[in-house]
Amino acid sequence: MTATLERRYRRLLACYPAAHRGTYGDEMIGVLLASARPGQRRPKVADTLDLFSGGLRVRLHRLATGTPDPAWRNALALTTVIAPILLALTVTVTGQALAPLAWSGSAHQLVYAFALLVPALLALAGLRWVAVGAAALTLGGTIAHAAGTAMIGIPAYSAFIVLLGVQTFALWYSAGPRQGLRLVKPVGLLIAIPWLLTTAYLASLIPRHYPVPVVIAEVGVGLIALAGLPALASPCGRRLLLLNVVIPLSGLVITILSFVHVDFYELRFTAALAAQYLPPAALSALTYYLIRRAERRPPELEVAR
């Protein structure tokens, strides 16, 4: 049935950016159907692989030529505001010494939390490349520290490290925190500030036992409110969620896998970890899927007109 085949090919077109799909989606379906065998019901494997690599190429080309859609541009600029606050609060709230030195104690923690704000402050001062350098240095230092103390396998670190990576990328690629601050909606502060205070209070009840991924999820979602009240319903807000919460948390999956692979003696411990962190990872995947589904719909409706 052509209709079945068409629906399946359309689903594969999801790997292209929405703008590309809007422009070429219809034509591509036409070409795919024209080159299908009579009675073919499933996409050919070669076509499927070709669509994946084509989608990747289009995305990379857009990235390289600096033409992401406005939602990505805004989300990346806002990320240069959100990620540093998120990183600093994570260190402050969890009481975990994520510093490149084996620091402990609340004073050191606060110093390190402040140090995490430095790249963003440098960018605010207009020193963009110094800021990117500082962010990259923090990332490198944290990875080296984690690797050096065999802590790379601790789930807390993978989420934290991935978030540092996201921040470095956003500082390098976006218009920076000045533009980001311009996008902050005053009404969002009314949500974000009480939210953050509540999280800080809850965390203070069980100091040093509040898992980093949970803080990133909670604080991250609270900070996304900065983009406005219905932020999560907007394309920019959904991308903020992806950059600041979903992607960092998805780092956990890798950690869990490495645990399972590396040390069977720790299996019970691993099972405990999986129970604790697989739900956030599954939630991340679900969020990503829902974002994609929500955004795939409009161009299809246009096509169906």
189 in Cβ contact with 229 (< 8 Å): no
Of 148, 143, 160, 155, the residue nearest 255 (C-alpha): 155
Please select the residue that binds another protein; options are 30, 105, 279, 298, rule is CB under 8 A. 30
Question: What is the rounded end-to-end Cα distance, in angstroms, of the chain?
Answer: 21
Asked if 4 touches another protein (CB under 8 A), the answer is: no
Region at 103 (left for phi over 0; alpha for psi -120 to 50; beta for the rest)? beta
Count of residues interacting with another protein (CB under 8 A):
25
Cβ within 8 Å of residue 84, ≥6 positions away:
116, 117, 119, 120, 167, 177
The contact pattern for another protein, residues 65-104, with x = CB under 8 A and - = no contact, is: x-x-------------------------------------
Asked if 293 touches another protein (CB under 8 A), the answer is: no
Asked if 10 touches another protein (CB under 8 A), the answer is: no
Task: Specify the residue, 58 or 127, whose C-beta has the smaller distance to another protein.
Answer: 58
Residues in the chain: 305
* DSSP assignment letter at 227: G
Please select the residue that binds another protein; options are 8, 14, 47, 285, rule is CB under 8 A. 47
Task: Specify the residue, 150 or 304, whose C-beta has the smaller distance to another protein.
Answer: 304
Please select the residue that binds another protein; options are 5, 51, 221, 273, rule is CB under 8 A. 51
Q: Compute the least distance from the CB of residue 296 to another protein, in Å.
A: 17
* Token pair in block for residue 46: 């070669």
Return d(Cα 200, Cα 142) in angstroms, integer: 24
Please select the residue that binds another protein; options are 34, 205, 206, 275, rule is CB under 8 A. 34
Task: Specify the residue, 13 or 166, whose C-beta has the smaller distance to another protein.
Answer: 13
Asked if 35 touches another protein (CB under 8 A), the answer is: yes
Question: What angle separates helix 267-304 from helix 212-224, to the nearest 10 degrees?
Answer: 30
Which phi and psi angles does 280 have, rounded to 5°? Answer: -60, -40
Applying CB under 8 A, the residues found at the interface with another protein are 20, 23-24, 26-32, 34-35, 46-47, 50-55, 57-58, 61, 65, 67
